[in-house]
Structure 1
């Protein structure tokens, strides 16, 4: 059936209307007829009502019809002539017995308008247009109600107005009812005509409103103004089909025009139609919609509406190519019937199929002005080369005249289809031959054919190649296996029938799933195929998820699986109502999330909330464990983020943080362990500050302390690690929750655990506790000093956690070095702590060196008090014991164990070396220790010692450090040192430049201190403005 280019559902400019005008019927106002032509009985008034004209005379009415582009009036019906009613007759509504009184007519119109307003909300198509018309009509009701109160005499204008309004309102009502009952797809196909009909009705009513003699009828001025505005609005109102509907109609027109669209085009078109009319896109629903549409068209045939029927037949022919249009067995029967009617060998092309220029079969044949046909591209190249004569007859050609030869093109396509069908059927024996080379050649041919056209893929499927290809997935040849997988992917793409056939073959899914652990190329193909199959079958998703959960995958496989789109299917199953599906999906996510890159992607794509909901609300313990383990993997993945990428947090809201943490007390030990590990990982992620703050708000410390006492070593270890993170930057009120029992528990863990990380964390908690006498007493009471000290010698430890272990041990044992408790200092010194601290100044980690220097500074702060005075000698000196060596700094008797003297411990040189480091915090700690040597009366002796150790030049160098606090500390010490003339003379010159810089660029405090020192050095006057 040839299709002429026309606009669907609209008459006039581009072709015949889908809804044609009445032929000799009663109503004849030039526009397309309603979807079901209302009979006089349905319309509610006689034939003469349909024929009545509002125009002043017959001639003018005819002109109006032609000018407006409407269908010409077919003249009076036979029934009208039989009744003796002339077509030019104007019906007097106000006095006709057929209508009763004017009040009754007005009442009928008002009721009809109200009914339109109600039914317009239930139409299937163009609802906005119907509601728009209903709103216009409702604004006429006040006028009609006022007319009911008036004494109305015969008036031509009013009579014509009521005649037109009565007619148009009832037509609109019928159209509204039809659009709420008829097949939705049929209505969509007519959406242009429907919107045009509504626009015409609106315009006619607008013109009719101008006929009312409002002034002579004594209508209120308010209503007159409203009607005047309404008439202008209605006259210019436009009713158009929705954009989505227009796009669908354009696709239909294009598809019919092309004539050779594939199944994919038809599938997409049918899906678009279903979405536009609000129908499910499930296969069964699409099938039902299509069958109902066909039934509607059959009714159109019965009505002998030929113009509409022709177009609808073309639409059906287009949509029949969709999968949902016919059942698979119907397609298969149709295919086999046609294929069995063909020969066994391909047919040679007819001579008329061959282009005289290329001697090849034509694809796009066009006819020239000479009457001969050529391939379009070939004849265009012929003309482009300057040839104007026909290659066949050598007659002159007009290069502008090239007519598509559609009949020949269709014949060529049919010939090619027949040969392709024969070729596909003939390949089976070769594919089953077992000869690798022949099988691969045959598979290559099949792939070429499948990639050419959608219909070829359908024929390969209907030829039952799928079981053969699945069998080849187990072939010994890797190339054959891969090629079979490629072909199955091609066949399954956008074909529900192919998907169904694949899943019906025994062990097919298992055979495909095995490729997930293969090389990346095969794995990608397998994922693509499984995802395609899972669109059709939930069982495929289950098998895929179960296999992914159990399979040992390389990191490359895991990464590839997520890149290829498996995550969407797994997240879908997580929300599935079937518990078996949920468990399989979560286990698969757990397996894949162990790769940090995958964990980050899962978080970005919304995996967290479904998992968190399962953990909160589901009642299956086995599922809790898998979900918690997956969340733990996701949390760990957030610790590996690059600084230059957008930071991702596992838990975005406070509610989610509180929800997950409270589950620690509500779930089993395995779940507890996973949740604790998850929070421990989050406390080391970019969102650590927020997580720690929120956990402290929900009393996490109180909740974790009892877990540190558990016999379950895994839960205990993870609770200790998390508690260590939360006690960093600890607040003083932590002592409200911790006591002697907590210290005993931590020391017991340190003394008995075999988990080095747990030991380091337990010591970290002690290290983080406030340095106060109470904590020191608790530690001493529990015998904590020897427990902690045994972890300090560097040679005692090795492994990945050595640094953390020593750092935390030094921090924990620093509780014993504070000068407020000299008893604890002595016990620490007696156990040999000071030499170990000096040894740790050479440690590899900055935290260890800093903490060791600070502890040495604390010990040294007590040295002046504990240094024993040199005893006076009595009697004969020759009989006296040799005098004890006097400390050159403290001027008394010093030892490492009794007075913690840095000189006796030989700590000065190591501290000076630390002072020269680039890490300012470590430098400052070393400086604090060295400055204890010049406190009070020790200024001269201590300064001399610092000079001998070359510490003063390093101190001067620190004046340029970007740390105001450190600068101020150095300035204060230099001001005291330069009180000594010898020191000022030796180091004054080298300090002048950095001091001058500070007077210009330092803050208020450092500028003033620098100026005072410069004054000491006689560089600035004593009354300088810098002071």
Structure 2
């Protein structure tokens, strides 16, 4: 090459060649100073050239001979400076992004030229030339410096190249990654970040791809393709091209179904499709995390071949990874294309499943969200915001939020869909989860200047945001405040005023605004998430009166929004009472009884509102003010008769309404009137329906009527079939409240032999035992189940039917009852004591007599010891002896309780151990320290308890030793009874005092 150049220019004199080289050097210096990339490197290079230019000018001033060695040196120098000039010119004219991507090669070429020029300087025959020593030293030093010169790409450039390489290796398809990378590139090369400028740079880069080499091949065409593919993911890329590429791929797949993964895609260790496949030294491929864990656990054998492997060798299987990604993308494209028709015309459950699938796809990759946008999903998702199903609306909002967050274009697409912003604002007024999603979506949309103005035109949204500002949800309040601040089209004074007065602007519009505005405000109140404090303040600020006016409006749609708002606000009991006071009951019942009303939903909401009003009458405040929902028997009859004429939702509301009224101050009147209306007959029928909610509320109301009902009503309507139904509910229901109510009905049924026998025949005893022993949890309703079950048991433990007693005892229930004396509620303990008392009443007749032994038996064996009370052989199962059951101690402990009913029941059980004919029971009580607790009952506030205590002491003091030991303790309470109580009680007290020989000592006992 050098020889060719020399021969071609050998006719040119050296002086002229030197002049050409000086000019080329000058041009190269000028060009190097204008290069915008690698500035520091080109600056250093131009400094070298400035020095060369000086040296060459010095040589031109000499009288040079045409020596061959000088000619060769100048020729090489001229050639290398031209190469450097070409490099600088290309770095000024080619794509800045292209040059950045190839910065390492640019640096390499520049460094090579510098060294070649330095080497050419060493060839100048300075010794043969008449030059100064100083010039010789300059040439020598410059040559040395250039030969040692090293150039490096800037740290920022190296960082960008690393990001590019990582993106290519990871096959990163994330738009955010590409946008971030392009932003770094624009800063590094000094180009504008405007999308139009960035788009222009990418287009230039594509043109560079046509000629992917510089002067000596700086870029590889394949690499260029990869870089362009990566940067094309950025927003600056022409969307039409992206869409064209997507549909090209999608259409090439046709209408195929997703493919199953190939066997090679599965990791042999995890058996799942691999994400980061790596190859080991055994040439087997595994998921990186799985094989690393295998090695970390100390294994140095291949998991498949079990041959030793080099654990430090893990080579990424890029080909397999690419195949897996292509398979995933293929299937995702097919899925995205096939979901949309289901969302447009599918069944509700199918739509929800498809939305879940679409949401997962959108979450997985940003690229997938691009595909969703290209498939025109945005109008479909906007349409779903009007769906009845709340879950469908929430899924649609979340997906729209992800799409809006991706790009400005998507924000504008969403806002351009007809009624899109109105639909989003409507969700803003719904329950808190949906409201927060709608708020986040609106906030994201407001970050677009174009969309921001459109949001400001949606009616009523400001008031909704103000309402959210006052919510307990701090995050939602912050988002609402930021959204209000973003909406610069609004008068800030209006916003501040709205914040300060909170709901007052909304209520003012509700009261006096145009009809369409009033409807929007009522709908807002019906759907917005409100705290109890908010609900209370809304009524206090005057919302009830205009809502009642809307309720009486002739327009059906007005009635609907008014009822919906009243329903939403009435579930606060204080508001319910206010509605009753201000006359809401009449219009509501008028709508409920309007059978010609076309809207079933409206009647259901009316019934639910009436239910809220009924619940409010259980407040103490209602009792004090004598606030009633229904007063006349006619009103009660009309409402209850609807149960047989309506669907499950209204039935449920009416049943809860009556159940609430049965807890209200007028509950006894309500219960009596219901029984007169044969409500029991209807409730018996409803206990058999399949609708669980209706059945449960029917059972609960039935229980209320049974608590203080008359025997005649229940004997008339409760038959064997009803008994079997109640037991089936107890045995099969998963609702503890329903089980407790059904068991409560059985507890309160008349104690009639035929009913009891039906219960026994239907297996009630075993059912009760299961309720008492089946590992129930310590919750209120489970405690109610136990309490009612023990109450129901009392009807089967009566001493007049020892056959039933035996059947109960055979279940092993007596020890359970003893345990309940300790752990049960007051009512449970009382009924457990009653059952034990009834069992104990049979113990004397069931206790087996002691065997009589021969004359020599006493000499040969230890005498048998029988029961000290029943004087025979007693067991828990055979004679139901409460001593054998260890019930005495807990029964005595119950004597000290504050509840008179529990004390009386325990005393009754204890009294079964003593009578006038047997002294052993009293001695047993004395040994168990029961006498003093019994004496203390003389001071009870219950006359019945005092009376039974007097009877007990009369029996106990028949034993002289007990009279002496405890007589003094009983004396003063007995004297007080003898002085203050009625004649019957005085007589009983006198008998006991006579036993204590105290009657004759005092003359004033009966004064």
Q: Which has the higher helix share?
A: 2
TM-score relative to the length of structure 2: 0.50
TM-score, structure 1 as length reference: 0.49
Higher relative contact order (CA closer than 8 Å, sequence separation 6+): 1
